[in-house]
A and B are shown apart, each in its own frame.
Chain A
Amino acid sequence: MKPIAILHEGNSKKTHDNELLQSLIEYLALDVTLVDFYGVGKKSNFFKKEYEAYQLLISRIETDQVERVLFVIDADVEKDNAKYGGYENTQQQIQIMIQTLGIQDISDFYITCDPTTKTGYLESLILSTIPEKQKQCINQFLSCSEFEHTENHKAILHSIYKLAYPNAPFDFEHSHFNELKDKLKRLFSEI
């Protein structure tokens, strides 16, 4: 079994759900083979103590098979969900859940968003790392489109980004990745 668990939204086998994390781990020359990725599906699953990914995780922690845990969770937008939406709500609720699971000593979390606005999701973080002009173009396209649902925005953003930057998927030198880089380095250093 692998000593590091990274829990993220979506499906661990649907590559774009943890593609950035995997790429960043490799970029930092950390050993990705030490990690089991746990796709927990939708965000609300993070806040269910009885969720099956937690059953697996806790049994592995109790037997010392998992030594460090990182929760990677979207901030989303507060107006969409008064309890779990937005950076502060997400931070508060994930801290409560980590305490409830009793794994605070070995756990950390990273809230995915546009660091300047503290809202959004993985795609917002990625968008925040590209030049302002392109970013405005994409934002304008999204606001003009009739795809108003968040999941549509995510998919469109992902596709546009992939099309626009096929050879350099992520600009890991951008300062907006620093917090995630620090958390990943710490995660691996404590093994």
Chain B
Amino acid sequence: MSEHFLRNIHIKKFKCFSDFEASGFGRVNLIGGKNNVGKTAFLEACLINIRSSLFTLTKTCYSRERLNMSSPLGEPEYNKKMLEYLERIQSYEADSNLGVFKFFLENKEGQKLASFKRDEQATISIPFDKLSTDTRIHPDNRDRKIYYIDSHGYLIIELLKAFSELQKRDKEEELNRFITSFDPTIQNFKVIQEQPFCKIDGEYRHLLEFGDGLLQYIAIICSLYASENGYLFIDEIDNGIHYTHLDKLWEIIFTLSKQTQCQVFATTHSKEMLEAFARVAKKLNEQEISYMTLVRNKQQVVKALVLNDDLLQSSLEQEHEIR
């Protein structure tokens, strides 16, 4: 497995996690669990650990609040929302095979401070009211390409950003081939005047005129290319996608993620999605996968059950309920 992959994480403080450990992640990782058990928070915690920056803490806030993640930094509206968000979460602390990142709020001599620590570097404290979305604390891991498709799917501007990365790699033809296999009536995908269009019956129609499933599908493919040697997080991967396309989707994810060495983390509630994941992994003889279920123990503490390919196949063959 690639050196840059996240293999384990210990989340000590963040949202619903108080002392949470999980390990055994592969290149493609599917995450299940009941509502409100922390699947999205887990994705966010990994994302923050990988990037280790205030900016990424902020991004998770944007995602939850449906703000445009590509908007200019430092805008008053976003600064306000970020501060509200940081006050709500109060702290973040996680270490992994990739590094340590810690954020906490504290009061010192009557002053409210936001403190940050990354790896072995000294803790840096900044007056809370001086924080803004463009504050840079430590040199962050900018070289790590990360794409995050939240549970609402990409905004158009986010899709276009991922698509432009795909264009840089001259992969438009591959994208069109995938789109045609998803819906044979679509002849072509094109960006015209900074808007996405699909050609159908000889006429270009805006992507938003099509179903959410197509947008999600295109978003995943573009992001797999864009996050070469990086990471792709997909919250509720099955959003809008018909069950008959699930095997095809996993084939694309397994194949492209191997090609681009992109590590994928995706959440789902769907049994069909999980079964398709296992079925395609078996068909492609994929070993670098994991399925993690988040559960609460009797003390209501969130814990992880991580299955590798063998254990996943074995559980499904025995028809165990593992979601």
Contacts and interface: CB of A to CB of B under 8 A. Distances in A.
Interface string A26-63: 00000000001111000000000000110110011011
B16 interface: no
Contacts of B321: 1-2, 36
Interface size for chain A: under 10, 10 to 19, 20 to 34, or 35 or more residues?
10 to 19
Interface string A1-40: 1100000000011000000000000000000000011110
Contacts of B318: 12-13, 36-39
B319 A12 contact: yes
A64 interface: yes
B297 A36 contact: no
B305 interface: yes
A65 interface: yes
Interface in B195-241: none
Interface stretch (B117-125, B152-160, B307-315): B307-315
Nearest to A67: B298
Contacts of A2: 320-321
Contacts of B320: 1-2, 36, 56
A63 B305 contact: yes
B295 interface: yes
- For the complex, would chain A's binding face be called helix, strand, loop or mixed by DSSP majority? mixed
Interface residues of B, number: 19
Contact of A63 (B295, B310, B322): B295
| Central interface residue in A38, A53, A56, A62, by most chain B CB within 10 Å | A56
A2 B320 CA distance: 8
A37 B315 CA distance: 10
A63 B303 contact: yes
Contact of A64 (B298, B307, B311, B315): B298
Contacts of B3: none
A131 to B, nearest CB: 36
Contacts of A55: 311
Contacts of B295: 1, 63-65
A38 B311 CA distance: 12
B194 interface: no
A56 B303 contact: no
Contact of B311 (A36, A52, A62): A52
Contacts of A38: 318
B297 A63 contact: yes
B263 to A, nearest CB: 23
Nearest to B315: A56
Interface string B291-308: 001010110000111110
A38 B319 CA distance: 9
Interface of B: 293, 295, 297-298, 303-307, 310-311, 314-315, 317-322
Closest 7 CB pairs of A and B: A64-B297, A63-B303, A12-B318, A64-B298, A36-B320, A63-B295, A59-B305
18 contacts: A1-B293, A2-B320, A2-B321, A13-B317, A13-B319, A36-B318, A36-B320, A39-B318, A52-B311, A52-B314, A55-B311, A56-B314, A56-B315, A56-B320, A59-B305, A60-B305, A63-B297, A63-B305
